[in-house]
Amino acid sequence: MLFLMLAPLTAALAQDEGSAIKGRLEAIDGEERVAVAGVTIVVTQDGTDIGSAVSDEAGEWLVAVPGAGVYQVTLDVTTLPDGIALTDPDATALPEVAVREGQQKTVLFQLGPGAVSTVSSLERFVDLVVLGLKLGAIIAISAIGLSLIYGVTGLVNFAHGEMVALGAVIAFFFHVSVAGPEWPLWIAAIPAILLGAGLGGGQEVLLWRPLRRRGTGLIAMMVISIGLSFALRNLILILFKGEPRSFVDYAVQREVEFLGISTVPKNIVIILASVVILILVGLFLERTKTGTAMRAVADNKDLAESSGIDVNRVILTTWLVGGGLAAIGGIFLGVSEQLQFDMGFKLLLLIFAAVVLGGLGSAYGAMVGGFIVGLVVEVSTFWVDVEFKTAVGLGVLIVMLLLRPQGILGSRERIG
């Protein structure tokens, strides 16, 4: 019996030449690095248990895997020593670890001092509010495009999440990738936003406008958009690969005091920059001719057309603006968390909650809805398990549909 139990272990050690997933667990506390021993790591493949390992005195662990493939690596948080926790409590599992034949793949779990014991519940609540505002800002910026495009064309674009992800990935290319110019992030963001806008405009010119001209119905267009989202997501997966990665700039920051709240500077910058962008979008919609035309087309397309507005031009502008904003949202999301090929799809679910909450088709609704959803989702983790924070977003969505389906700022006739 003992032999049986030991067999996988010895196999793991003997298989130094074969494919394996390994890593070294270290808790980073300020400048100090401490090896973390006795933590269980489990490797699975599509739900099948491949093997597990316990980190040794040096924090090192290794799990042999049968060969090339994509594996899931999970850290058993219950085995973490007291006072040590994952830096990102959500990151208990790495869902897509791709291993090549014969490769010993190193994966990283970021550990730090456990926060729960040292922080008072009021401070934790305030922290969550800040995180909620930040997530809300990201959702709001990304959601405006979806909502405006819906307003002028009636199409719910299920590929909008991929526009968010592409913004982040393009910025990653100019910022981090060795094949790119390795510019600082704030410079790399410029081509990313321009290309994001171009992607929106390109979609309109090459795909949606011809489809409208052919008389393709809205339901068929939504099915096409879901096909597009699937194609783009896999394209991103091919270009970016499965592992989550981070921008280099602003990745690690020290907390600062700001208005009595201690948080990392990037959170404050994201929130403030988003507010500025949202105000600019509001001014654009209210004060410029194009913005007014956009609202007119959203309100009544035929009337707008008969009063001399070039509807196709307005729709194109909307796609350009929406694409650019989605790219900004993606870059902020990448700074705030990590980049992953399906980051856009995950955010899309929250974007949906936000636009339905605020009123589908209304840019201001998307802003209000975005902040509410962001706050509710983050603050809910004060009471419920962090794994459920996105489920809370969906709960908000369904309750809203039951109580007030047109949303906070939406108009009644859009929904029926």
CB of 263 to another protein, least distance (A): 27
CB-wise, 343 or 360, nearer to another protein?
360
CB of 239 to another protein, least distance (A): 9
CB-wise, 330 or 361, nearer to another protein?
361
CB of 112 to another protein, least distance (A): 20
Per the CB < 8 A criterion, the answer to whether 66 and 50 are in contact is yes
Q: Which of 187, 274, 291, 166 is nearest to 229 (CA)?
A: 166
Which residues are near another protein by CB under 8 A? 44, 46-49, 68-70, 72, 74, 92-93, 98, 100, 150, 156, 158, 207, 211, 214-220, 222-224, 226-235, 237-238, 242, 345, 349, 352-353, 356, 360, 385, 387-388, 390-391, 393-394, 397-398, 401-402, 405, 414-416
Q: Where are the beta strands (DSSP E) in 65-141?
A: 69-75, 84-86, 93-99, 104-106, 111-113
CB-wise, 85 or 130, nearer to another protein?
85
CB of 402 to another protein, least distance (A): 5
CB of 202 to another protein, least distance (A): 15
CB of 210 to another protein, least distance (A): 8
In angstroms, rounded to a whole number, what is the distance separating the alpha carbons of residues 10 and 375?
49
CB of 387 to another protein, least distance (A): 4
Per the CB < 8 A criterion, the answer to whether 233 and 165 are in contact is yes
Q: Which amino acid is at 316?
A: L
CB-wise, 242 or 282, nearer to another protein?
242
Q: Measuring CA to CA, how many Å separate 353 from each of 176, 252, 348, 357, 400?
A: 32, 30, 9, 6, 9
Beta carbons within 10 angstroms of residue 225's beta carbon? 20
Q: Within 13 A of 282's CA, how many CA atoms are on the CB side?
A: 12
Of the chain, the end-to-end C-alpha distance in Å amounts to 66
Beta bridge partners of 113: 84
CB-wise, 30 or 217, nearer to another protein?
217
CB-wise, 33 or 100, nearer to another protein?
100
CB-wise, 247 or 352, nearer to another protein?
352
Backbone region of residue 308 per phi and psi (left: phi > 0; alpha: psi in -120 to 50; beta: other values) = left
